[in-house]
Structure 1
Amino acid sequence: MTLDMLLARAGLLAATLALAAGCGKSGDAGKAELPPPIVTVAPPAERTVTRYELATGRAEPLEQVEIRARVSGYLMDVAFEPGTEVKRDALLCEIDPEPYKADLARAKASRATAEADLATAEADLIRAKSREATTKISYDREETALKKGVGAEATRDVAKGMYDEAVATGRASAAKIKQSDAKIEEAKANVRNAELNLGYCTVRAPIAGKVGDKLVTPGNLVTGGIGSTTLLTTVVADEKMDVAFDADENTLQRIQQAVRDGKIKAPAAGEIPAEAGVAVHGTTYPLKGLINFSDNRVDPKTGTIRMKARFDNPRPDKGQRLLAAGMYARVRVPIGEPVKAMLVPDSAFGSDQGIRHLYVVGADNKAVRMDAATGALEGDLRVVESVVVPGEGKPRPLAPGDRVIVSGIQRVRPGMVVDPKPATK
């Protein structure tokens, strides 16, 4: 290779290196540092709140009755509209009464016969007693004459036989009276049973409440008596409702301690004020009632105890009553008087392995993570009992001057510099 060619190659290599160096400097100059993430901050809200113990449960009626046929026969009529409210003793169904009317007539006839037999037995007894008295006189006279030696033994014996026969006839008549009395009582029982069966042909509501669906239509044969009787419908009392819920041991102990300390004002012995709400109420608890039942033992398998709170369930001008049997409901028990507390939006919390935390903007606009002990939800705000920096210091309450990050926590890490913007009201 000639000298000229070597020099040409060296120049090309130098130009390539210079170009590469120039490109590297241009890239470093164009690389910009990312700005701090923008977050929204707000001070905690200071409000007066009441502390509560919370639970969930199901609405239970105070009374519920299965309406079953008590006599067998053909169903003639169903007089109720399914899903409507009925008053106590309202007509629900009618079963063909004709066979039971015939039974009642036979029972009354049997009673009349027994009463006639009693009258006959009583008359027989009167005649027997009269004959007994007459024959007794004759027998005594013959016995006296025989002792004086002026009478005959055979005549005395005939008189004695007639007297003994009259006594036996009187005893038989008395026995017939007892038998007739027993038959009358039996006849009366048969009449009463026939009257009951005839009355059972008319099925009425034993309680006031909401009636269920028609389970049997007219024309079908229904079975009564004892055992596998035909279910016609159900009635559920709905003027008041119990909400049954399970409270754990700690909750039970806190409620009991609050009662002992006088923090819970019980209207009467064994009653504790309670509030309830259903799904349509969102996070509010508009229903006011009383806990009036606590079971007599804690279930050792679950560590919970069954409790019930009773609430009025009035009928509105339009539509159905609010609570229905089996409906899900939330229950809370106010503990003590209202106190001041610090609250932040519930959306401001993060969660790490079950530990709830929030971020506060500290010095130099650095984000500080704080683990939070939280309380009840008040609308969109959550009560903050205390906060603590993980591994540092002791828990403290939130201060009015704390700048809590309420939006943008997904982009924040502990110690990160942020660009805080105040939240708009």
Structure 2
Amino acid sequence: MLFKRIGYFTSVGCMLVIASCGGNKQQPAAQGPAPAVPVTVAKVTITDAVYFDEYPGTVTALNQVELRAQVNGYITGIYFQDGARVKKGQRLYSIDQQQYEANYQQAVANLAVQEANLVKAQKDADRYHELDRQDAIAKQQVDNADAALEASKKQVDAAKANIRAVQTNVKYSTIYAPFDGTIGISQVKVGGPIYAGQTILNTVSSDHPMAVDFAVNQQELYRFVQLQQQGTKPKDSLFTIAFGNDVYPQPGAISLIDRAVDPQTGNIKTRLVFPNPKNMLKAGMTATVRVKNNTATASVIIPYKAVVEQLGDFFVYAVTDSNTVTQREVALGRQIGTDVIVKDGVKAGETIVVQGVQNLREGSKITTAPPQQPGAGAAPAKK
């Protein structure tokens, strides 16, 4: 009985295996050609590539000085508004002059005493010389009188020098603007103490024109030296600066190139000068220096979005006569806005895919027809 059951289950298992194998022999359904990928294409063109080389720059004043007192004392007056324009020689600060005025008066009085002593010494010397001619006085007394006269003259000179020194201190007790420019926010208040050579009162900087400093690699030095020697016209836009997307309306010119290249960076400082009539440029601002490429040549230009990057290499999809695409490796140049210069890989007049490149591969079929709206049926037949 047991053997009959085993034979029965074995027969059923074999029938199931045969049925399963028979199912695998069914032919797969035939697949049609891959649908065309909708893309946007554009012609490769040639144009004169005009672009700007860009460098980070810093706006700086041509003249800038920190105001420091040269005498000790207390601030007695401030004669300007913070941030105002000042003129050369304009009074800015005054320091307590009482002590220096008293020293000056004392120096003047001392000079008067020394001049009186000089008069007395001169008379004594004249009298002794007269007695010496009459052989009525010892020679030593005459020599002593001459020595006293010379000492009195030196004391008068010293008294005059002391007056000049005290006058200098009196002069230094008033701070004047060293040149035309803009003054900053005062660092001291009326009544505050200041110390000679230590306390910074304020900073004055020139504001028209303004300079912009930027670093140039030594490999570009020859080009910039030529630009400096050629000069620029007043309305030339060879040198401009930008702040984000805003370009400063006034063009600049090369003012100077530093004397030496920094051996650590290989760069050399270059300075541009820009007019600043509306005081839009402030010292310390960061800007992008834009140097116009003045050697424009015909270049192959394509939209940058047509480029595909793969492991550091760049490719585009060129359209063939059979409405398929082939992948081309390209050598890129400088990017100009939304376009890029192509040095090698495509030629003018060829058609490349601009949009839809992410859905393509080598040999893909493409279509440039607009995609059909979902749910749109076929147009009804005319009766």
Partner Cα distance (1:44, 1:285) in 2: 33
Distance in 2 of aligned mates of 1:363 and 1:331: 46
Query: Which residue does 2:381 correspond to in 1?
Result: none
Offset, 1:266: 0.7
C-alpha change, 1:287 and 1:112, in structure 2 (3 Å) is: same
1:99 aligns with 2:99: yes
SS for the counterpart of 2:108 is helix
Q: Residues 127-276 of structure 1: matches in 2 within 5 Å?
A: 127-133=127-133, 135-136=134-135, 162-164=136-138, 167-225=139-197, 229-255=198-224, 259=226, 266-267=230-231, 274-276=238-240
Counting only pairs closer than 5 Å after superposition, residues 17-416 of structure 1 correspond to structure 2 as 28=29, 35-44=35-44, 46-50=46-50, 53-133=53-133, 135-136=134-135, 162-164=136-138, 167-225=139-197, 229-255=198-224, 259=226, 266-267=230-231, 274-282=238-246, 286-315=249-278, 321-364=279-322, 365-375=324-334, 377=336, 379-382=337-340, 384-388=341-345, 398-399=347-348, 401-416=349-364
Q: Structure 1: 5+ residue runs without aligned partners?
A: 137-161, 316-320, 389-395
**1:53, 1:251 within 8 Å by CA — same for their partners in 2?**
no
Measure how far apart 1:235 and its partner are: 1.6
Give yes or no for contact 1:274–1:309 (8 Å, CA) kept in 2.
no
1:198, CA displacement in angstroms?
1.4
Residues 273, 291 of structure 1: 8 Å contact kept: no
Preserved contact between residue 275 and residue 287 of structure 1 (Cα < 8 Å) = no
Rounded to whole Å, the distance in 2 between the matches of 1:413 and 1:335 is 37
SS of the residue 2:147 aligns to? helix
Contact 2:315 2:327 in 1 (8 A): no
Q: Secondary structure at the match of 2:118?
A: helix
TM-score (norm 1): 0.71
Mapped partners of 1:120, 1:73: distance in 2: 40
Change (3 A) 1:45 1:176: farther
Displacement of 1:182: 1.8
In the TM superposition, what whole-angstrom CA distance separates every residue of 1:67-88 from its partner, at most 9, and x where no partner exists?
A: 1121111122333333333222
Give the drift of 1:189: 1.8
Number of equivalent positions: 359
Alpha-carbon distance in structure 1 between the residues aligned to 2:112 and 2:94: 30
TM-align CA RMSD: 3.7
- Give the distance between the partners of 1:358 and 1:84, measured in 2 at CA: 58
Residue identity in the other structure for 1:100: Y
Residue 224 of structure 1, CA deviation = 0.7
SS of the residue corresponding to residue 217 of structure 1 reads coil
- 1:273 Cα offset (Å): 8.8
CA shift, 1:34, in A, is 5.4
Q: Can you give the 5+ residue segments of structure 2 that lack an aligned partner in the other structure?
A: 371-383
Q: Displacement, 1:239?
A: 1.2
Q: Secondary structure at the match of 2:230?
A: coil
Relative distance call for 1:170 and 1:240 in structure 2 (3 A) is same
Q: Say if 1:175 and 1:322 are closer, same or farther in 2 by CA, change over 3 A.
A: same
Percent identity over paired residues: 28
